[in-house]
Chains A and B, each alone.
Chain A
Amino acid sequence: MAMKRRTATTHPGERAGMQTFILALAAMLAVLFAVSCRSREARQAGTKLPEEQELRGKIAMLSRRAQVLSAEISLAKNPAPYLAVDLANRKIGLKVQGHSLRSFAISKIQRTGGSSLVARTWMETEARPLESPVRAKVVPGSGEATTSSLATRDPWGPKRMPSDYDLVCKGNQALRIRSLLSDQSRSRFTRWIVNAYLQVRDWARDTLGGRKSSYRESIEIWLDEDDAQLLFWSLPKEFGILVLDAS
C-alpha cells in the first residue's frame, strides 16, 4: 500500500524529469555527432584540397608549356628565322630552330583586339616603317673605290634603320614596334620628357591617321630605340611571329 502510494506520488515528476533528460541527452548527442562529422569532413577536405589544387595548377602550367612548345615547333621546324614575342616575360627575340640569335627587353605593351590564346603564330608579310631609311645613291661611273669611300664615311648600319614601324601580318594583324629613348642616353628627367612626348606623338598619329583602327588586332611594343633599330636591321623578308600571351 505504501509502495503503491509512493509510485502514485513520485511517478509523474520522475517521468517528466526523465523525458527532459532524454531530450537533453539526445540533443547533446546530435550536436556532438554533427560537430564530429563536420570536423571529419574538414579533415578529409583538407587532405584532398591541396593535392587537387596542386594538380590543377600543375596541369595548367603543363598545358601552357605544351601549347607554347607546339606553337614554337610549328615555326621552328622551318629553318627560316622567326620572331618570338613573349608578352609574359616582356621579351622579344629573333630565333632560329629554337635557338635565340638576338633578344630585347620590352618596356611597354599595349594591345587592341584579339583572342586570349596562350600561344599564337602570325605570318609577317610587310615591314612598314613610319619613316623609310634614306639610302645613298651610287653615281654611275664613279667607280667602286669612290663607292667604298662613301660607304665608310656614311656607314650603312642599324643606326640608319627606322625605330618606329609596323610588322603587318596575314589576317590584318600587326606587331607595332615603337621606340623609347635608350636608358644610356641623356639624363633621367630629359628621357622622361622625351619618352612622354614620343608616346603622345604616337597616340596622336594613331588617332588622327586612324592607323590603329585599320588593324583587326594589334600589339604595340615599346623598345629601347637602339633595340628597335637593330631588330628592324635583322629582320628577313617574310617571317613567322610567335606570340606568347601574358594570360
Chain B
Amino acid sequence: MDLKQALRWTLLFLLCLPWVFLLQACSASEPSEELSAQRSPQRRNAAADAHDGINTLRRLARALEDRVRKLQAVESRLYPGGPVILVDTSQGRISLMLGLRIIAQGTCSTGNGMELTDSTGKRSWTFDTPRGHFRVLGKVANPVWYRPDWSYIEEGEPIPKDRSQRATANVLGDYAIAFGDGFFIHGTLYTRLLGANVTHGCIRVDDNMLKKLFAAAQPGTPIWIY
C-alpha cells in the first residue's frame, strides 16, 4: 500500500467517524416507549411489565397507608374519652382521669394480702384487691356496711342470721362506689393508714378524693386496677 492509498483510507475512516458518534448518540438518547415497542415487542413487554410493577407497588403502598391510617384511627378511639378511675396498687395511688388527662389524684389503701380461715377450716378468704378492668356498678351516699361473715370471724363474734343485724353505719365514709363482688371504693376512719395495704380488698380513699370520685363516677365508668 503506497502513501496515496493510506491517505485515502484514512480520509474514508475520518468521514465515517462522525456517523459512528451520531449513531451512538441516537442510541444513548431514551426513545419513547411507542418507538421501543415498534422496534421490539419483547422490549415493549419488558418495559410495560416494569412500569406495571412499579405502579402495582405504588397502589399497594397507597392501600396499606390507608389501612394503617384507618387502624390508627380505630385504635385512638378505643380508650374512653370520659371519666376513668385508675388505681395503682403498688404506689397506693388513685387517679381520676378524663380520657388521658388527670383530674384528681390521691392516696389510697388496698388489700392486705392476708388469709383468713374459719374454725372449721372449710371456708377461707384472701384479702386481695382484684386487678383488671371493672365498671362502676352503683354509688351511694351515707352508705351502710352489711358486715360479711369474715368480719365476724376476724373479730371472733358470732355470725348473725338476720341480715339487718349486720348493718353498720358510719364506717365507709360519706360515699361508696360499688364495682362488683362486694368491693367498694369508700372512705375510712383510719386516715393515717392511707397508702398502706391494710384493707380486706376494698379501696379506701380520703374524704376529699372520695367526693371528687363520687361526683365524676357514673354507672359504667371504667375502673382499671393494676
Contacts and interface: CB of A to CB of B under 8 A. Distances in A.
Contacts of A39: 28
Given A80-B132, A156-B197, A102 B30 contact: no
A98 B75 contact: yes
B78 A237 contact: no
Interface stretch (A30-38, A188-196, A202-210): A30-38
A102 B226 contact: yes
B126 to A, nearest CB: 7
Give the size category of B's interface with A. Answer: 35 or more
A95 to B, nearest CB: 10
Given A141-B156, A236-B132, A36 B24 contact: yes
A66 interface: yes
Interface string A212-247: 000000000000000000100111110100000000
B145 interface: no
A79 B226 CA distance: 13
| Residue from the set B58, B61, B156 with the largest chain A CB neighbour count within 10 Å | B61
A102 to B, nearest CB: 7
B164 interface: no
Interface residues of A, number: 68
B1 interface: yes
23 contacts: A13-B5, A17-B5, A33-B23, A36-B27, A66-B67, A66-B71, A69-B72, A81-B133, A135-B126, A138-B114, A138-B127, A140-B119, A141-B154, A144-B151, A144-B154, A148-B198, A151-B114, A151-B198, A152-B198, A236-B131, A236-B132, A236-B133, A237-B132
Interface of B: 1, 5, 9, 12-13, 16, 20, 23-24, 27-28, 30, 50, 53-54, 57-58, 60-61, 64-65, 67-68, 71-72, 74-76, 78-80, 86, 88-90, 100, 111-119, 126-127, 130-133, 151, 153-156, 190, 193, 196-198, 222, 224, 226
